[in-house]
Structure 1
Amino acid sequence: MKRRKFVTNSAKVGLALTALGGYACKQAKKEPEKEVAEMGEEETMEPFFKLSLAQWSMHRMIREDGVDPYSFAKKAKAWGFTGLEYVSGLYYKELEEDNFSEAAMKAFIDKSNAEAEKHGMENLLIMIDGQGDLATPDAAERKKAVENHYKWVDAAAAMGCHTIRVNLSGAEEAEEWTNASVDGLTQLATYAKPKNINITVENHGGFSSNGAMLANVMKLVNMDNCGTLPDFGNFCMKWGEWPACDDWYDRYKGMKELMPYAKAVSAKSHDFDENGNEIHSDYVKMLKIVKDAGYKGYIGVEYEGSGISEEEGIIATRDLLIKAGKQV
């Protein structure tokens, strides 16, 4: 499923969230890019989860406005986050020019690590796209796709991440998809296990957005370093003419099915009402599902809307998570 298309507007919103600063692995003196707003005592209560930022929330800034992808750590810190979720595709321009050579990958790793350390941020995971179909029924092509992901497993390990997120696409028949997915994931998770890297699958279109089917794949793989990255909003199994979805899977049912295998969680957002609530997903209901599953790790903000700027959307999603977190 292709990522959403947005309109980016300028914004003057930037808050450094002191309540969340203690979660960073390497605490650094806060130096927000913009003026920090004062918060009342009730707003500094810590939620049951930690907050990370999915770099995809900045993809229009990077691809259309010329923002340096290596400014990710600096900006995420200024917006009040402590964890970083990288997106491989936002670095492909330079990496593909050098055919993903060892030198090019090392440069990506070294620069990302330096920026994370400089700003006291924690590298958590890398979202991988465009490296081949891990669920293709063609065994040779599937093996090639698995091997294409090796460099990202190695990069994640070198960056201190715990996870990479992959996609399961390729087969068009349910049983064939299940069998190919189990094989592709087993191969990749076997490579990643001695490196202490988790392989996770997001509900990201097609059969992967069917919570029961993806949960069944995890059950069949049955490896402790293979799991899910449940996303609040990515439960469209078949897209019509964008942005219409022809086949939605129940998102709350899907979250319940995927959370037992979760290694990370993504809070997707698109549109907000006048009270700051996301109109497509009930965040209180979603967070209750997450909490009831015993999850206490990072939840990643991933704004994909078009009604407000990316920066405003990131802040709105962050604030909504904190507000909703107090109600569960």
Structure 2
Amino acid sequence: MSSATPRRDFLKQSAWLSLAAFGLSARAAESAPAGKVSRLRTSLNAYSFYVELNLGLKEPNNPKGMNLHQLLNFAAEAGFDAIDLTGYFFASYPKAPTDAEIFAIKHEAFRLGLEISGSGVKNEVTTADKALRAEGKQRIKDWVDVCVKLGAPVLRVFADTNIPPQKWQAVSGGAARDVVEGWIADDFRECAEYAAARGIFIGVQNHGDFLTTGAEHVSLLKRVNHPNCRAIVDTGKYLTEDPYVDIALAAPYAVNWQVKETPFGKPNKPLTDMRKIVKIAREAGYNGYLPIESLPMGRKNYDTPGELKRMLKELKAAIAE
């Protein structure tokens, strides 16, 4: 069997099923009718507050800023089950935080009744610069170790360039797509092997550059061909006419998600249909977290807390049906 087979087949064979974060026992997963048994939980992606968190890092005494402890309190008060602690908002980033910093956040989350659903880093895998790719690969490994200490099961990584405004075609030096996919697959396979030895998953997020469709997402995962390298399904970054088709295509490979305000990645577009997202996740046999992320997208006076609470209410209602 290819180790990039859809999630339902993968879950039947994975010893990691015993972790509560992914719900079902192997026996339950095998006996449950498709789409009938699914344990879904809500999570808040820290990046929703990137403006406030970045300000808090630069100006700790600015009342408009926010730190990770304040973020945890918001998530708990709003009623989220978990928090996705994006690595960028630790003061030490891109270096790993100290154990004292990690455990302070971990203990605060526990005190508030919040699970930690994942973390994430920035990395470069589409560039022709081998040294830059190696740097990103090492950062992934370093933050896998952070995830172990946090108790976060998934580290989110990118298959898209993070050197704006350039695209993968430019940073790769004009290399063919198949060649670049090979670079990415080799790096992620190595990282997945490292993560597997520590009980962590590498989650590859689509972000609208190298990965713009569900088919491209799945193609990369199949080329990585490692059970600990799965999909982070970003519902707002499949750049197609009907993103729900792409979401459904990638969902069987998901280890985590990013549920966005709109599937079209731009303001003033139709809002995400939470019932449809939950239906797709369940039909794919997904058990685990559905983290929410909402961004200002250039809108003045954007009410991030209010929008997150609206999205959470709709997602909870869809899960409860």
- Quickly name the TM-score band, shorter chain normalised: 0.7 to 0.9
SS in structure 2 at match of 1:208: coil
Match of 1:6 in 2: none
Match of 1:84 in 2: 83
Cα displacement (A) at 1:214: 1.5
1:24, 1:121 within 8 Å by CA — same for their partners in 2? no
Alignment partner of 1:157 out of 143, 148, 153: 148
Asked if residue 95 in structure 1 is aligned to residue 92 in structure 2, the reply is yes
Alignment partner of 1:319 out of 307, 313, 317: 313
How does the TM-score come out when normalised to structure 1? 0.72
SS in structure 2 at match of 1:298: strand
The 2-side partners of 1:326 and 1:82 are apart by 14
Please give the residue correspondences for 1:129-278 in structure 2 after superposition, counting only pairs within 5 Å.
129=122, 132-170=123-161, 171-172=168-169, 173-236=176-239, 248=240, 250-269=242-261
SS in structure 1 at match of 2:246: helix
1:202, 1:229 within 8 Å by CA — same for their partners in 2? yes
1:210, 1:249 within 8 Å by CA — same for their partners in 2? no
Please give the residue correspondences for 1:57-68 in structure 2 after superposition, counting only pairs within 5 Å.
57-64=48-55, 65-68=64-67
The 2-side partners of 1:50 and 1:235 are apart by 23
2:160, 2:207 within 8 Å by CA — same for their partners in 1? no
Match for 1:128: what amino acid?
V
Cα displacement (A) at 1:249: 5.8
Cα displacement (A) at 1:279: 2.0
1:62, 1:69 within 8 Å by CA — same for their partners in 2? yes
The 2-side partners of 1:149 and 1:204 are apart by 17
The 2-side partners of 1:73 and 1:318 are apart by 15
Match of 2:114 in 1: 121
Cα displacement (A) at 1:203: 1.1
1:135, 1:184 within 8 Å by CA — same for their partners in 2? no
Cα displacement (A) at 1:138: 3.9
Match of 2:98 in 1: 105
Deviations 1:71-129 (A, max 9, x none): 222221111012110111122xx215xx72x6x43243122112112212111200212
Inter-CA distance 308–66: structure 2 relative to 1 (3 Å threshold): closer
The 1-side partners of 2:188 and 2:230 are apart by 10
Inter-CA distance 60–270: structure 2 relative to 1 (3 Å threshold): farther
Match of 1:283 in 2: 274
1:270, 1:304 within 8 Å by CA — same for their partners in 2? no
The 2-side partners of 1:280 and 1:174 are apart by 32
2:21, 2:288 within 8 Å by CA — same for their partners in 1? no
Deviations 1:282-316 (A, max 9, x none): 32222221111011211111112447411101100
Cα displacement (A) at 1:209: 2.3
Match for 1:322: what amino acid?
K
Cα displacement (A) at 1:227: 0.3
SS in structure 2 at match of 1:230: strand
SS in structure 2 at match of 1:78: helix
- Count of residue correspondences: 260
Inter-CA distance 175–90: structure 2 relative to 1 (3 Å threshold): same
Cα displacement (A) at 1:322: 2.1
Deviations 1:144-171 (A, max 9, x none): 3211222110000011110000011354
Unmatched runs of 5 consecutive residues or more in structure 1? 1-22, 26-46, 237-247, 272-277
Cα displacement (A) at 1:63: 3.1
SS in structure 1 at match of 2:234: coil
How does the TM-score come out when normalised to structure 2? 0.74
Cα displacement (A) at 1:48: 4.8
Cα RMSD, aligned residues only:
2.6
Match for 1:264: what amino acid?
N
Unmatched runs of 5 consecutive residues or more in structure 2? 1-19, 23-37, 56-63, 162-167, 170-175, 264-268
